[in-house]
Chains A and B, each alone.
Chain A
Amino acid sequence: MASHYPTGLETIFEKQRGISRVESRHGYAQVHVSQIETRVMETRLRVLEGVADAGISMDFLKLTPTGMSFMVREDCSATIEEILAGTGVHFSVRNGRSIVLVYAVNIRDEEGMIANILQTTITTCAKVDHVGDMHDRLLMVVRTEDVDRVVNQFKPAENVS
């Protein structure tokens, strides 16, 4: 064999399937806007406009039949309350929310993986407010007091194929 070729390679190529890592982000507030009775979409847009004009970034926007909910940084809570009060909508702002991120490579290609992570989280009796996903992770919004319980539930699965 010519020696300039790499030979005898046994390289690790792909990440192990399954959960590889769990982490959490703290300091969020959950905003619920509800009881919009007429012109629902226009009202939602008006609220979002107020939030955007204040330069506040939001995550996990979800529509409900008569409103919506979203997450902001907890340190923006007071500003959000002012903005929403100004729009005249019915709302609530709940501090003490965190995001738990469960990493699993190619999460959608692993059949049932997303449902499995959710089911495991629910088993801890943590209340999941919202869920989002990326190609390599599931993001779940839970109360900060529940974070350790959820994270610990996944710790044994870390780096297990």
Chain B
Amino acid sequence: MKFGGTSVATHESRLASAIRVIQAKEQGFKPVVVVSAIGRRGAPYATDTLIQMLRDIDQSVEPDPRELDLLVACGEILSAVIFAHTLKTLGHTAQAFRGGQAGIRTDGVYGNARIVGINPISLFRSIEQGHIPVVCGFQGVWVPGDGSPGGELTTLGRGGSDTTGAAMGAAMKAESVEIYTDVDGVKTADPDAVKGAPTLRKVTYDEVAEIAHLGAKVVHPRAAEIAMNHGIPLWVKNTFTDDEGTEIVTREKFPGRRVTGVTHTGKLVYLQFDLKNAEDGDRVPIEQRIYETIARYGVGLHMLNMSPGSTGFAVPRDQYAIVENVLDGLVVPISGRIYVFQVGQAPSREVETQVALLGTLGEVRRIAAQLTEGCTMVSLVGHEYMQQPGVFLAVLKTLYEGQVTVLQTSDSDYSLSVLVPEAEQNRAVRLLHERFGLAEVR
């Protein structure tokens, strides 16, 4: 039973969560609890708050990944100890475990480690002794193999606590893994955009992986994949209601539906680089330089678009500053020509300086990127139905008739996405939700 940040945020929510655990025990199960850090962004012990404590010392000095992992792991340790104590106050003996104590071994990638093995012997012992084990989510231990005693604490990156829950369930051959959160399960759309969006009773692992990839905040694909590979039933449930929740199953058990839901991402900035100024033979090295630079700085890309005269992509708004910083004023010399990158309509002082200085050395050409700020990606997610003739037409026609501006499109085997202005996001979600009859889906 994994409890997310909002399920352990306050004394009241911890009580509600603890009662779920006790009920499971009273039904004859042997519950093992996995907890996230207390609260979400802004809460005193939430992961983001802990990271901010380091950044507040000096923004210009990047924290060491090893130390960062030690720091952020404290959030789950606090949470596990407090949750175990809450269970004790309700008359049930419990023991808190760090990830390493629970037997979770990872690779050595700080901040984004992957689980390589679990030996849950200490948890079985704890159960044998009558305790309810409470395990810190999101963390494990890396044993470097150089004789270091105890190993190195690592954290699992995005979806880490869900991953801990699923992996622990697999290692202990659990009856099921239940992910508790503050919504009733996987919904057909964000309820903030579509009031009364129904909860799906079953979704396939593929569906859940794709809707998470396209912005929905549900169970992380890593957790779904582990549960699928080990044949463990996985549920998403609400800590605070008696709704039955969503079961995540294989396609053998449930064929899926034509359309699963409509998702949206966070805020994006779209950049379209005009390559018409470049000589034909120079376009490849220019594109190569753009993507090499983006890769080096670890920026996530959405809505990739490549055509003979241009290349474009959207980046999360919180990563845009990195992109602007590394690409605006970038100089690429090719065969005696000098290309200077300009991000945005008006040249920055850096671009003007580069052009003025380099102009004395040879021919200078600008590669300008047109910016579209304040946009977001809305996606229709389903299975092979997305490949059916006319689905893209239906999406574009619906949005056009609903006066939503479509800036760009992209698609994959299981989804169709449109880039729209942020202000039109919820309207776009509502229109597609209605057009594809998602209010009736269960």
By a beta-carbon cutoff of 8 Å, the part of chain A in contact with chain B is 1-2, 5-17, 41-42, 44-45, 48-49, 51-64, 69, 105-106, 108-116, 118-119, 122-123, 125, 127-136, 139, 161
Q: A13-B117, A109-B158, A116-B295 are in contact. Are A62 and B412 (CB under 8 A)?
A: no
Distance of A14 Cα from B396 Cα, bound (Å):
38
Q: List the A side residues contacting B392 at CB < 8 Å.
A: 48, 58, 61
Per-residue interface assignment for chain B, residues 108 to 151, with 1 indicating a CB less than 8 Å from any chain A CB and 0 otherwise: 01001011111111001100100000000000000000000000
Distance of A62 Cα from B410 Cα, bound (Å):
6
Distance of A126 Cα from B54 Cα, bound (Å):
44
Q: A13-B226, A115-B295, A134-B414 are in contact. Are A6 and B389 (CB under 8 A)?
A: no
Contact B389–A63 (Cβ < 8 Å): no
B288 contacts A by Cβ under 8 Å: yes
Contact A112–B120 (Cβ < 8 Å): no
Q: A9-B171, A52-B389, A132-B411 are in contact. Are A114 and B301 (CB under 8 A)?
A: yes
Q: A13-B115, A62-B409 are in contact. Are A41 and B400 (CB under 8 A)?
A: yes
The secondary-structure label for the interface of chain B is mixed
Distance of A56 Cα from B296 Cα, bound (Å):
40
Q: List the B side residues contacting A57 at CB < 8 Å.
A: 387-389
Contact B222–A106 (Cβ < 8 Å): yes
B406 contacts A by Cβ under 8 Å: yes
- What distance in Å separates the Cβ of A96 from its nearest Cβ neighbour in chain B? 16
Per-residue interface assignment for chain B, residues 276 to 314, with 1 indicating a CB less than 8 Å from any chain A CB and 0 otherwise: 000000001001100110111111110011110000000
Q: List the A side residues contacting B157 at CB < 8 Å.
A: 109
Q: List the A side residues contacting B296 at CB < 8 Å.
A: 112
Q: List the B side residues contacting A62 at CB < 8 Å.
A: 305, 307, 408-410
Q: List the B side residues contacting A55 at CB < 8 Å.
A: 389
B397 contacts A by Cβ under 8 Å: yes
**Closest A residue, CB atoms, query B173:** A6
Per-residue interface assignment for chain B, residues 360 to 402, with 1 indicating a CB less than 8 Å from any chain A CB and 0 otherwise: 0000000000000000000000000001111011001100100
Selected from A16, A51, A139, the residue in CB contact (under 8 A) with B389 is A51
Contact A115–B213 (Cβ < 8 Å): no
Contact B307–A69 (Cβ < 8 Å): yes
B77 contacts A by Cβ under 8 Å: no
Contact A112–B118 (Cβ < 8 Å): no
Q: Which 5 A-B pairs have the closest CB atoms?
A: A111-B298, A52-B390, A135-B213, A115-B295, A131-B304
Interface centre among A7, A11, A127 (most CB of B within 10 A): A11
Contact B167–A115 (Cβ < 8 Å): no
List 18 other contacts, CB 8 Å, given A1-B124, A57-B389, A136-B209: A2-B124, A10-B117, A14-B114, A45-B396, A51-B389, A57-B387, A58-B389, A63-B408, A69-B307, A112-B294, A112-B295, A114-B300, A134-B210, A134-B413, A135-B209, A135-B210, A136-B221, A139-B412
